[in-house]
Amino acid sequence: MNEVIKELEKSNIGKVEKDVFLSKYTTYKTGGLAKCIVYPKEVEALIQTIKILKRNNIRYKILGNGSNLLFSDKVYEGVLIKLSELDKVEFVNNKIYVEAGFPIIKLSHLAAKRSLTGLEFASGIPGTVGGAVFMNAGAYKSDMGYITREVTVLTPDLKIITLENKEMNFHYRTSFLKTHPDYICLSVMIRLEKGNKSAIEKVIKDRRKRRIASQPLEYPSAGSVFRNPKDMFAGQLIEELGLKGLKKGGAMVSDKHANFIINKDNASSKDIKELIDYVKEKVKEKYKVELKVEQEFVNWE
């Protein structure tokens, strides 16, 4: 592994960080040590990075803003690839051409300034464009699938291709990329509609107020833990079981919103996962409903 890191450092692919704690890179503020994080400076550098890793049989994972991941407390014996340097954005009339590393919140505000409507739902989602497309992030009865027209991806055999909306197979909190994780989102073409700038900004402002009032934004979390089952609200089921405020170590079911688990007091990833599993088990026991976890568990094998 050390030899591979040396090769990456010599390859002029971009910044290479060694031995960093994942608490710095996840919104839960937990996770073990990552042996190496690479920041490819362009698409060709990303391809070169993956070639080196594949040749040496090194596991790797694309890391966005870490807003939907729960890494274990163990050492990640592989390479994490952050695409934050892929952050170009271009507006052409009502279309946006944007690279995967661009923050989705920032993009929603840029769209609002240009009187473009359709991205307001994303103004509180703390992820990257690539991550948002990967999981088909959404809120307020809208999601990336409604506005994404094309996605340029890197295939497992390192070819660059473009997938149209229908090929992306967008559904509730999932997409082609989530079911085919060997494909990497490079850039996206989003199409919005012309709207009224002050009305768009008012929607964003009102929703921010609503989030502050209803969500525990003052604590590290990864947003909603569970998907809403059909015709039900996960948070309501958890609240009706009296689980608000329940703690495991430093992790707690938020007493503000029952579908949030927060890092209340220096929680470990183990604390959070045990609490997620416990809540899931209790809901199944009481309501015969199998809650689906929105977050991805990484390095728990």
User: Annotated active-site positions, please?
Assistant: 173, 224, 294
- In 52-90, which positions are buried (b, 16+ CB within 10 angstroms) versus exposed (e)? bbeeeebebbbbbbbbbbbbbbeebebbbbbbbbbeeee
Pairing label, strands 95-99, 89-92? antiparallel
DSSP H helix total and E strand total for the chain: 10, 18
Residue 36 contacts residue 6 (beta carbons within 8 Å): no
The one-character DSSP state at 215 is: S
- Helix, strand, coil in percent for the chain, rounding step 5: 35, 30, 40
Q: Tell me the HSE value of 63 on the side-chain side, using a 13 A CA sphere.
A: 26
Determine the length of the chain: 301
Residue 185 contacts residue 134 (beta carbons within 8 Å): yes
Task: Give the C-alpha separation, 25 to 64, whole Å.
Answer: 9
Task: For residue 227, give the amino acid letter.
Answer: R
The one-character DSSP state at 228 is: P
Residue 150's φ and ψ, nearest 5 degrees, are -145, 150
Q: H or E stretch including 92?
A: strand 89-92
Residue 64 contacts residue 86 (beta carbons within 8 Å): no
